[in-house]
Structure 1
Amino acid sequence: MLKDAKKTKDQIVAWIRKYFEENGPGCAAVIGISGGKDSSVCAALCAEALGKERVIGVLMPNGVQSDISDSRQLVESLGIPHVEMNIGKAFDAMAEMVGENKELAAITGQQGISADTRINMPPRLRMTTLYAVGQMLPQGARVCNTCNMSEDYVGYSTKYGDAAGDFSPLAGLLADEVLQVGAELGLPENLVKKAPSDGLSGQTDEDKLGFTYDALGEYIRTGICADEETKKKIDRLHRLNLHKLKLIPKFEPEDVERTLEFL
């Protein structure tokens, strides 16, 4: 737990300001708004750091989204400019293209798209949408990554989907610490304390992971986990998903003479 949530909140706000001063003076922050704690806290932090007019919230339901009212509540309570763009048609077209491709079916040995593909495609379409919105803005934009440390540690994100972005205000905070900052920001409780879920599988994050964020946070902080099976699950997910946190590996030639010509 944070010793001083206000101090941490102020430090993140200062960090966001510095990032934009160095990497995008005058740019807007573009944020995908899910209506959950992470996107809500990120949007509020950016609004305090940059001013409401420089934070663009993007609501991206996939067809019908039962809790889209939470996303609308968040942008209205913060008073930030926002747009709603339904990715349903794009998802359907992509699913049809991939799922009905005969050559791909011959390679994979299956018809239609897999369950994992169906779950991970929307986050990647949403990230494409966020960058498209950002490039439409005359002042330019930087896309906010909304993942927290707990999610990152076990890879509970989609590579090049919600795991992407230009800056990450919450990557140094565990899930329960995000809640503390959210309370300090005065965000609506129904958003900050909403059970996190991917909005796709019909399960909460904790149901899918097989352990609670509290247990995960305690293990990350102390290295101690009361339940051995939970420890094994966390260690396995961390090991398997480390690639999501690393830069793309690149080959570096050794002992090779090269001449670089700049035209």
Structure 2
Amino acid sequence: MRPKLAEDAELIIKDFIKQKVEESGGNGVIIGLSGGIDSAVVSKLCADAIGPEKVLNVFMPTKVSPTSDKQDVIEFCKNFNMELKIVDISPAIEGFEKILSDSDRNELIGNIMARCRMIVLYHEAKLRNRIVMGTSNKSELLIGYFTKFGDGGSDYCPIGDLYKTQVRELAKRIGIPKNILEK
């Protein structure tokens, strides 16, 4: 049996976001926007809670990132009037590849990418006096599907209590575009 999404889940999460931004005394939030459903949901909830002008989405592609993700992110931010910054992290990844052991190359590269993204997000957050909103869901957190000090690193995780199935349901409720929903 799949857990049902509470009718007031959207309101509860938006109130949480608004409260945390107010408590921080900051100017808004930073989100690593990947082109996937989790980051799109967090971004849209933040925009609805505190206003799109207080949301900075950062897309951090590498040489292996699908071009379609970049187009989806650009279109998403344009449609919801949110700022987007694109930071190519490929040079940082290549630098780390040169100095670190490649005993399990795929795992190494995946962890390096996640940690580089966290560095970029916190750098932008510091520059703009904002907090970092994570995009992990409960399904990922329960099985440990995140990189320590990488995508697991954020100030708050608004969808951290929602299973992936609930995130998908919420995405439909809040109007996440079909091209992102179907990924």
Instruction: Verify same fold: TM over 0.5.
Output: yes
Number of the residue aligned with 1:106:
none
Q: Distance in 2 between matches of 1:3 and 1:38?
A: 15
Q: Distance in 1 between matches of 2:6 and 2:104?
A: 47
Equivalent of residue 123 in structure 1, options 103, 106, 114: 114
Equivalent of residue 182 in structure 1, options 167, 171, 176: 171
**Structure 1 residue 156 and structure 2 residue 145: aligned?**
yes
Q: Distance in 2 between matches of 1:88 and 1:172?
A: 32
Number of the residue aligned with 1:232:
none
> One-letter code of the match for 1:35?
G
Deviation of 1:94 (Å): 1.1
Higher relative contact order (CA 8 A, sep 6+): 2
Number of the residue aligned with 1:238:
none
**Structure 1 residue 71 and structure 2 residue 73: aligned?**
yes
Larger-Rg structure? 1
Equivalent of residue 84 in structure 2, options 79, 82, 85: 82
> One-letter code of the match for 2:110?
I
CA RMSD between the two structures? 1.6
**Deviation digits for residues 61-111 of structure 1, max 9, x if unmatched?**
012521322222222222111110000011101111224xxxxxxxxxxx6
Q: Distance in 2 between matches of 1:9 and 1:97?
A: 44
Number of the residue aligned with 1:96:
98
Q: Distance in 1 between matches of 2:110 and 2:6?
A: 37
Q: Distance in 2 between matches of 1:85 and 1:21?
A: 28
Distance change (3 Å), C-alpha of 1:13 and 1:93: same
SS at match of 2:74: helix
Unaligned segments of structure 2, at least 5 residues: none
SS at match of 1:143: strand
Aligned partners of 1:123 and 1:161 also within 8 Å: yes
> One-letter code of the match for 2:124?
V
> One-letter code of the match for 2:116?
L
Greater mean alpha carbon deviation, residues 66-75 or residues 126-135: 66-75
Residue identity (%): 30
Deviation of 1:26 (Å): 3.9
Number of the residue aligned with 1:237:
none
**Deviation digits for residues 132-184 of structure 1, max 9, x if unmatched?**
111111xx010011000000000111111111100110011000100111111
Counterparts of 1:165-244 in structure 2, within 5 Å, are 165-194=154-183
TM-score normalized by structure 1?
0.65
Deviation of 1:112 (Å): 6.7
Number of the residue aligned with 1:60:
60
TM-score normalized by structure 2?
0.92
Find runs of 4+ consecutive structure 1 residues off by over 3 angstroms: none
Q: Distance in 1 between matches of 2:121 and 2:104?
A: 24
Aligned partners of 1:98 and 1:113 also within 8 Å: no
> One-letter code of the match for 1:186?
G
> One-letter code of the match for 1:153?
L
Aligned residue pairs, count: 179
Deviation of 1:56 (Å): 0.2
**Structure 1 residue 38 and structure 2 residue 8: aligned?**
no
Distance change (3 Å), C-alpha of 1:159 and 1:187: same
Deviation of 1:114 (Å): 2.8
